[in-house]
């Protein structure tokens, strides 16, 4: 052992004495050579207590959603930008589960006054976060542990997620302390109803979960309906009578080739279907995960795994957007596709709604942005005014680092912000409008355009147009398919185009399929056309061959 290692070990042992049970790490920054606690090596399955390039090794254990923040922070430390960090992330343990960790570290200078060591500790919250402090129920981490245990034993079960809608209003009226009392009382009701048949958990926010080996999906629906009826009419908390609105999603677990994260994404998909479209009616994911639908969830599971493998099998198709007057190419819309030898090409509608509920989805969103920008440079070189339209999910928009992701990918690809158009749908109304407005203003200040897709298909389109700074309104094909003969369709297009003009937004019409539709639509204030008359969505290679 050389002298530098002796000093590294001595310093490490001194730090470990005062670590109070936390994992300790110590890195010789010049050699990028580290020593870690044996307990950390055992718990997370690290190669050894001594590691070269430990930062990159540890990065692979960090949850994909937390990885970029960690990577940037470590780079800043080793580049001399920061002197330390204090951050929280999820890390993968040796048994395949994620635990929440708090990591604190500081740079220590050597005798020459230059950065020499990076030392710190990692606190593992996994051992203390399996019980929810408010309700006393097992937490989300306990849910995943128990679900994985059932998987390991290949034990069929049924899962339900149930949650309370509009809870923030109750907090505003009664205060947070009373809000916690509501959660406690509701937890007691859920536990009293289901504990005889399975396990009950407090998940994130106001959601609870139940796992049962004996109850069927129909049993869950019946019991949920009884609870829903009870809390909507006579739910008393501290002599206060109130009415709670509930939502529920149910999934059957009977295929153990599907990982538990995929099951949870399907479960959340059913839950949000209940909340957003079914007025709280319990939704069973595809009724059951067997038979024909079993093939669907197997596809989703495989597609989800492909995201971890650098988005293997994914590719983009592009549909042209042309000027309504000159019919010259103004831009294209990037459309996601996935294909493999076993399943062929799978339509996005089969997997995107489920994966939007998955923590891995923003990783796919970043891949789409990067791929579209790289391809878009080929068109910008020929047409400086070209716009690459990229659809963005509310699952991406709700993340605080979305704008930073866009700017980072713009910088990495060298793509110009003024040639990018972010397309949103009225579903973004589920997010905080002030937050979205600020995000869009920052993007627009850099030159990025914002388009509102599928205008008119939801109840909130006009509200979104009124509250958010929108550059382009895209009229959904449903409103123009009979435009040549339908007066209601013509009145609708006239109204939307006039409304968009009042908000200083251009109008693009989707679903243009005939020359007659083009001629009719030119009577209105429409700037651009998109549809099969000009081209169906095609690969980049096919698009480059088109005379547009």
Per-residue pLDDT, 502: 92
CATH of the domain at 191: 3.30.70.270
**Per-residue pLDDT tens over the stretch 215-227:** 999 999 999 999 9
**Is 98 inside a domain boundary?**
yes
534 and 388, same structural domain? yes
In this prediction, what percent of the chain has a pLDDT beyond 70? 94
Q: How many domains does the chain have?
A: 3
Among 35-49, 283-297, 413-427, 524-538, which is the least confidently predicted range?
283-297
**Is 296 inside a domain boundary?**
no
Separation CA 392–CA 540 (nearest Å): 20
Per-residue pLDDT, 288: 42
Handedness of CA 195, 197, 202, 208 (dihedral sign): negative
Among 217-231, 234-248, 420-434, 452-466, which is the least confidently predicted range?
452-466
CATH of the domain at 359: 3.20.20.450
pLDDT bin (cut points 50, 70, 90) of residue 499 is very high
CATH of the domain at 74: 3.30.450.20
Separation CA 540–CA 135 (nearest Å): 54
The beta strands (E) that lie in 31-75 are given as 33-36, 50-52
Q: Is the pLDDT of residue 546 over 80?
A: no
**Is 325 exposed, middle or buried, given 0-12, 13-18 or 19+ CB atoms closer than 10 A?**
exposed
472 and 329, same structural domain? yes
The average confidence (pLDDT) of the chain is 88
From residue 141, alpha-carbon distances to 98, 131, 132, 138 in Å are: 8, 9, 10, 8
Mean pLDDT of 172-192: 88
48 and 179, same structural domain? no
Return the number of other C-beta atoms located less than 10 Å from residue 427's C-beta: 18
Q: Write the DSSP string, 310-376.
A: TSTTEEEEEEEEEETTT--EEEEEEEEEEEETTTEEE-GGGTHHHHTTSTTHHHHHHHHHHHHHHHH
449-455 and 472-475 as β-strands: parallel, antiparallel, unpaired? parallel
**Per-residue pLDDT tens over the stretch 110-165:** 888 888 999 999 988 665 466 787 888 888 878 887 888 788 788 899 999 999 98
Provide the domain limits for residue 169.
140-289
Tokens representing 346 are: 């799978």
Separation CA 490–CA 142 (nearest Å): 56
Tokens representing 477 are: 């094909």
Among 125-129, 492-496, 528-532, which is the least confidently predicted range?
125-129
Which of 96, 128, 160 corresponds to the end of one domain? Answer: 128
Per-residue pLDDT, 127: 53
Q: Write the DSSP string, 273-297.
A: HHHHHSTT--EETTS-SSHHHHHHH
Torsion of CA 508, 513, 519, 521, to 10 degrees: -30
Q: Is the pLDDT of residue 20 over 70?
A: no
pLDDT bin (cut points 50, 70, 90) of residue 4 is low
524 and 448, same structural domain? yes
Separation CA 376–CA 301 (nearest Å): 30
pLDDT bin (cut points 50, 70, 90) of residue 274 is very high
Return the number of other C-beta atoms located less than 10 Å from residue 364's C-beta: 25
Residue 239, φ and ψ in degrees, nearest 5: 70, 5
**Is 303 inside a domain boundary?**
no
- Directed axis angle between helix 167-174 and helix 176-194, to 10°? 130
344-346 and 329-340 as β-strands: parallel, antiparallel, unpaired? antiparallel
**Is 294 inside a domain boundary?**
no
Backbone angle region of 414, left / alpha / beta, with phi > 0 → left and psi within -120 to 50 → alpha: left
pLDDT bin (cut points 50, 70, 90) of residue 289 is very low
404 and 430, same structural domain? yes
240 and 220, same structural domain? yes
Q: Which residue has the higher pLDDT, 280 or 262?
A: 280
The structure's pTM equals 0.65
- Do 429 and 460 form a contact (C-beta atoms < 8 A)? yes
Indicate the helix (H) or strand (E) that contains 389: strand 387-391
**Comparing C-alpha atoms, which of 165, 224, 241 is closest to residue 189?**
224
Residues 6+ apart with CB under 8 A from 148: 96, 97, 260
Q: Is the pLDDT of residue 171 over 80?
A: no
**Comparing C-alpha atoms, which of 162, 265, 280, 281 is closest to residue 211?**
162
Question: Alpha carbon 22 to chain centroid distance?
Answer: 31
235-237 and 528-530 as β-strands: parallel, antiparallel, unpaired? unpaired
- Do 533 and 546 form a contact (C-beta atoms < 8 A)? no
**Is 304 inside a domain boundary?**
no
178 and 107, same structural domain? no
**Comparing C-alpha atoms, which of 539, 485, 533, 545 is closest to residue 509?**
533
pLDDT bin (cut points 50, 70, 90) of residue 190 is very high
Per-residue pLDDT, 441: 94
Counting DSSP H helices and E strands in the chain, the numbers are 19, 22
DSSP 385: T
- Helix or strand or coil: residue 529? strand
**Is 301 inside a domain boundary?**
no
163 and 96, same structural domain? no
Q: Is the pLDDT of residue 200 over 50?
A: yes
Residues 6+ apart with CB under 8 A from 408: none
393 and 258, same structural domain? no
Separation CA 13–CA 107 (nearest Å): 17
Separation CA 260–CA 273 (nearest Å): 20
**Is 342 inside a domain boundary?**
yes
Indicate the helix (H) or strand (E) that contains 336: strand 329-340
Q: Is the pLDDT of residue 415 over 90?
A: yes
150 and 84, same structural domain? no
Which of 95, 128, 161 corresponds to the end of one domain? Answer: 128
**Per-residue pLDDT tens over the stretch 336-379:** 999 999 888 888 988 898 888 888 898 999 999 999 999 999 99
pLDDT bin (cut points 50, 70, 90) of residue 504 is very high
- Directed axis angle between helix 291-308 and helix 361-380, to 10°? 70
Which of 64, 93, 128 corresponds to the end of one domain? Answer: 128
Separation CA 17–CA 489 (nearest Å): 76
**Is 419 inside a domain boundary?**
yes
């Amino acid at each position: 052992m050389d002298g530098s290692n002796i000093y590294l070990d001595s310093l490490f042992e001194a730090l470990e004495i005062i670590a109070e049970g936390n994992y300790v790490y110590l890195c010789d920054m010049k050699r990028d050579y580290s020593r870690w606690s044996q307990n950390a090596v055992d718990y997370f399955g690290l190669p050894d207590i001594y590691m070269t390039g430990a930062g990159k090794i540890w990065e692979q254990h960090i949850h994909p959603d937390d990885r970029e923040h960690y990577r940037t922070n470590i780079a800043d430390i080793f580049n001399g930008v920061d002197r330390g960090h204090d951050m929280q992330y999820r890390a993968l343990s040796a048994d395949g589960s994620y635990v929440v960790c708090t990591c604190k570290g500081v740079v220590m200078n050597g005798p020459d006054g230059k950065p020499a060591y990076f030392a710190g500790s990692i606190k593992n919250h996994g051992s203390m976060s399996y019980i929810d402090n408010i309700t006393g129920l097992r937490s989300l981490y306990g849910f995943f542990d128990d679900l994985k245990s059932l998987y390991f034993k290949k034990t069929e079960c049924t899962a339900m997620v149930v949650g309370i809608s509009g809870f923030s209003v109750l907090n505003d009226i009664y205060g947070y302390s009373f809000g916690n009392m509501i959660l406690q009382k509701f937890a007691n009701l859920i536990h009293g109803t289901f504990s005889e048949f399975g396990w009950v958990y407090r998940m994130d926010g106001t959601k609870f979960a139940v796992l049962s080996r004996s109850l069927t999906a129909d049993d869950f629906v019946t019991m949920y309906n009884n609870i829903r009826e009870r809390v909507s009419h006579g739910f008393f908390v501290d002599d206060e009578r109130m009415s709670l609105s509930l939502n529920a999603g149910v999934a059957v677990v009977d295929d153990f080739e599907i990982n538990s994260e995929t099951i949870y994404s399907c479960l959340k998909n059913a839950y949000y279907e209940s909340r957003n479209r079914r007025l709280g009616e319990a939704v069973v994911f595809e009724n059951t995960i067997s038979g024909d639908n079993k093939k669907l969830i197997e596809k989703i599971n495989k597609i989800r795994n492909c995201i971890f493998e650098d988005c293997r099998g994914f590719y983009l198709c592009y549909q042209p957007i042309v000027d309504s007057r000159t019919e010259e190419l103004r831009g294209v819309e990037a459309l996601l596709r996935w294909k493999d030898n076993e399943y062929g090409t799978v339509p996005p509608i089969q997997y995107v709604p489920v994966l939007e509920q998955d923590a891995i989805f923003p990783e796919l969103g970043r891949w789409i942005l990067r791929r579209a920008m790289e391809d878009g440079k080929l068109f910008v070189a020929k047409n400086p005014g070209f716009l690459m339209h990229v659809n963005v999910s509310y699952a991406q928009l709700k993340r605080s680092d979305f704008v930073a992701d866009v700017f980072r990918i713009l910088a990495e690809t060298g793509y110009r912000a003024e040639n990018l158009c972010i397309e949103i749908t009225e579903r973004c109304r589920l997010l905080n409008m002030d937050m979205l407005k600020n995000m869009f203003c920052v993007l627009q200040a850099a030159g990025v355009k914002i388009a509102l897709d599928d205008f008119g298909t939801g109840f909130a389109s006009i509200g979104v147009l009124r509250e958010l700074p929108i550059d382009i309104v895209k009229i959904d094909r449903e409103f123009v398919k009979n435009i040549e003969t339908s007066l209601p369709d013509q009145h609708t297009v006239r109204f939307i185009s006039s409304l968009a003009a009042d908000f200083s937004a251009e109008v693009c019409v989707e679903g243009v399929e005939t020359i007659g539709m083009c001629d009719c639509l030119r009577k209105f204030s429409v700037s651009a056309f998109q549809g099969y008359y000009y081209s169906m969505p095609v690969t980049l290679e096919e698009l480059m061959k088109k005379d547009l």
